[in-house]
Amino acid sequence: MLKITIIESQYSAPDDEEDYCPEPVSTSTDETVGFRELVQMMRDYPHTSCWPVTGGTYEWLTSETHQDPYTSEYTESSLHYSHDNPPRAAKYWRAAMRAVGLIK
């Protein structure tokens, strides 16, 4: 089992100002998942934090940004390796990235 952290950030609706740079409201959730579930979750987060991807525990994945049609707020979610894992668990984070096809 591997501990992961999901951070969800909500940005307020854009106003008419040209310089739109709002501060997000963020919440984090910790989950414990198996390897197969981690691979399935990673498929929902297509954007990587850096390029080229090495599978390091400092790298994270980000989802597509979604806009709420009623409030016009933007929501972005990111998937992170939890550093509460024992050191030996880091290899599974990299192996999941390889299984998804992020690492050749």
In this prediction, residues 6-31 reach a mean pLDDT of 83
Q: In the beta sheet, which residues pair with residue 75?
A: 10, 66
Instruction: Give CA–CA dist 66/45, Å, rounded.
Output: 13
The 3-state DSSP class for residue 34 equals coil
Model confidence at 18: pLDDT above 70: no
Instruction: Give CA–CA dist 20/71, Å, rounded.
Output: 16
Record the pTM.
Answer: 0.85
pLDDT over 70, % of the chain: 93
Model confidence at 11: pLDDT above 70: yes
What pLDDT score does 16 carry? Answer: 67
Question: What's the Rg (C-alpha) of the chain?
Answer: 15
Model confidence at 17: pLDDT above 90: no
Q: What is the pLDDT of residues 30-55, one digit of tens each?
A: 999 999 999 999 999 999 999 999 99
